[in-house]
Chain A
Amino acid sequence: MVTMDPQIWLAAFFTIAATSYAFRDNVVFKFAEYTFIGVAAAHQIVMGVKNIRDYGWTKIMEGQIIYVVVFVLGIMLYARFHREYYWLYRFPIAFLVGNGVGISIRAAIHSDFIVQISETAKTPLITGDALGTINALITFVGAVTAIVHFIFTQEKLHEGAIGYIPKIGRWLMLLAFGASFGNTVMSRFGMYQGRVVFLLRDWLQII
């Protein structure tokens, strides 16, 4: 029979409230939506404070006084809400952006560019069997024509007979996007079924 656990009742209420928007906008959904935003923001603050304690405050307690500079920079981030001194927040943001950009582009060159191109170049197009050869050709043609499709600075590349190269790229990308859509359908239903199973199993206890 239906559970008496208040936690599950509350979770069931919010599940149904969030689902109700699929049918039409309503007050119950709005209540759930605003609650969610508030709780999500609160969770960010709680985890942020914990992160500062674990990776900043403990370092100061260990004697690394230089981390006081990090705390000052962190507080400067909140200057963005000040009308006059908002520019102070640029210093910590510059640090974060420089760090983030540097960390990601150094490896992106390797992973997204060099490795992908070398794999495309070194994969043999003619294999032992017909299907393998067809697959290798499709992969190679797909990779090359998709890259050519994104060259918009050369207009002549998209005109005339040579314009079929980027066109083939577009067609293969559309085929791939269709596959992505198919997977997205499974993904969303896979997520929602979890909530339905919760309602039937944990709340109503009929399965």
Chain B
Amino acid sequence: MSIWEKLTGLPREIVMTLVMISIIIPALNPLGLPLMTGQMSQDWYDAVDALPEGSVILFDIGYGSGGYPSLGPGNIAAFHQMFDKDLKIVIMATALEGTLMYPLVMAGVDPEGNYGAVYGEDYVFIGYVAGTQTAMAGVLGDLHDLVTNDYQGNPISSMPILDDVNGADDIDLVAYVTTSGDIAEGWVYQAYSQYSMDVVGGTLSMMTTSIKPYYDSGQLLGIMDGIKGAADLEFLTGHAGDAIVSSDILTFSQTLVLIFIAVGNISWFMSKKEVKS
């Protein structure tokens, strides 16, 4: 077996072990490389920054444990920006695990401690609403007709933040963070298409290409592009977190992938040449 054939056929265990090492080493020894922020994340930041104090944001936690490592840090950074600007946040979940992501995110934001925010006055969490687009249409159509209590069972009639929020007309911006294509499209359909609302969306990086047409056509004002977008938001809001930490890990692991691609292709071409000759 020639060297090229050996290089083409590295066992799976070796490849996986190298991948593992490429993630562990930078986690132990961070490099602190500079970040370059993308335009989509900048536009998300600017869209929220342009809102006057007291504006109402409807925020959808549309992801679960699978997306938390990538999107959780971005969600936290987004909330930091919103609380910092004294915006009113009506939080809901269209994902089954959204209600379990909420305490994790709020532990990272600590709105009461950091911003003096009061639950029920500055923010409220209405919990999980089943039905994806049906839920979106219901909340934007007539919130008080659909929702009676918040996620803990407290009546929303006792929450001052929702006194003047009945539906789409009373909401200034819709923001969502999701791992689901249905939810990502659904908010564009239900918020922008139905009510011409401003919408910003956060998704996994692999979904960015499919929702980019909405961003290009102005249906989305900004996109938080997975872990990269989360790191950008952390940088822009000045609240460094797990996403910025991840960029060093991505340096090593993605460089390893590039090496694998190079080795795989070179050895394949060379072994083909050997066979021909």
Which residues of A are interface residues toward B (Cβ below 8 A)? 22-24, 43-44, 47-48, 50-51, 54-55, 58-59, 62, 99-100, 103-104, 107-108, 110-111, 115-116, 119, 139, 176, 179-180, 183-197, 200, 206-207
CA distance A48 to B96 in the complex (A): 9
Closest residue of chain A to B257 (Cβ to Cβ) is: A185
A193 adjacent to B23 (CB under 8 Å): yes
Pairs A-B, 5 closest by C-beta atoms: A194-B69, A190-B227, A107-B189, A107-B193, A184-B206
Number of A-B residue pairs with CB-CB distance less than 8 Å in the complex they form: 144
Q: Are B250 and A189 in contact (CB under 8 A)?
A: yes
Is B128 close to A, CB under 8 A? yes
- Contact of B110 with A by CB under 8 A: no
- Please state if B193 and A186 are interface contacts (CB–CB under 8 Å): no
Report B123-145 CB contacts with A as 1/0, cut-off 8 Å. 00001111001100100000000
Closest A residue, CB atoms, query B100: A43
Contact A51 B128, beta carbon cutoff 8 Å = yes
Taking CB atoms, residues of chain A closer than 8 Å to B185 are: 111
The docked-state distance in angstroms from the alpha carbon of A24 to that of B13 is 8
Chain A residues near B213 (CB, 8 Å)?
A: 116
Q: Decide yes or no whether B1 CB sits under 8 A from chain A.
A: no
Closest to B145 in A: A59
Main SS of the interface on chain B? helix
Most chain A CB within a 10 A radius of its CB, from B24, B28, B225: B24
B:163-183 near A, CB below 8 Å: none
Contact status A183-B137, CB under 8 Å: no
Q: In the docked arrangement, what's the CA distance between A104 and B132, Å?
A: 10
Interface pair B28/A200, CB less than 8 Å apart: yes
B86 within 8 A of A: no
Residues of B207-239 whose CB lies within 8 A of A: 208-210, 213-214, 216-219, 225-228
Q: What's the minimum C-beta distance from A182 to chain B, rounded to whole angstroms? A: 9
CB distance from A64 to the nearest CB of B (A): 10
Q: Which one of B48-56, B113-121, B241-249, B265-273 contacts A?
A: B241-249
Point out the residue from B134, B149, B218 that lies within 8 Å of A54, measured CB to CB. B149
> Which of chain A's residues has its CB closest to B208's CB?
A183
A12 CA to B194 CA, complexed, in Å: 45
Question: A185 near B137 (CB under 8 angstroms)?
Answer: no
The smallest C-beta distance from B125 to any residue of chain A, in angstroms, reads 13
| CB pair A192 B226 closer than 8 Å | no
Contact B219 A115, beta carbon cutoff 8 Å: yes
Across the two chains, which residue of chain B brings its CB closest to A43? B96
Contact of A119 among B70, B210, B217, B242 (CB under 8 A): B217
B111 at the interface (CB under 8 A from A): no
B189 touching A186 by the CB < 8 A rule?
A: no
Contact A196 B206 (CB under 8 A): no
**Beta-carbon contact of A207 and B27 below 8 Å:** yes
A51 to chain B, nearest CB (A): 5
B250 and A196 form a contact (CB under 8 A): no
In the bound complex, what is the Cα–Cα distance between A55 and B130 (angstroms)?
Answer: 9
- B228 touching A186, Cβ below 8 Å: yes
- Bound complex: CA A191 to CA B70 (Å): 5
Contact with B193, one of A55, A111, A176 (Cβ below 8 angstroms): A111
**What does the 1/0 interface line of B177-209 toward A look like (CB < 8 Å)?**
000000001101110111000000000111011
Contact A51 B130 (CB under 8 A): yes
- How many angstroms between the C-alpha atoms of A104 and B187 in the bound complex? 10
Q: In this complex, what residue of A is CB-closest to B261?
A: A185
Is the beta-carbon distance between A189 and B133 smaller than 8 angstroms?
Answer: no
> CB distance A194 to B189 under 8 Å?
no
- What chain B residues lie within 8 Å of A55 (beta carbons)? 129-130, 146-147
B225's nearest neighbour on chain A, judged by CB, is A183
Least distance between A43 CB and chain B CB atoms (Å)? 6
**Closest Cβ–Cβ distance, residue B45 to chain A (whole Å):** 19
Other than A139-B216, A195-B69, give 18 A-B pairs with Cβ distance below 8 A: A22-B16, A23-B12, A23-B13, A23-B16, A43-B96, A54-B149, A103-B189, A103-B190, A183-B205, A184-B205, A186-B226, A187-B205, A189-B254, A190-B228, A191-B70, A193-B246, A194-B242, A200-B27
Q: CB-CB < 8 A to A188: which residues of B? A: 206
Let me know if B134 and A99 touch, CB within 8 A. Answer: yes
Q: Which residues of B lie under 8 Å from residue A99 when comparing CB positions? A: 134
- With a CB–CB cut-off of 8 A, which chain A residues contact B149? 54, 58
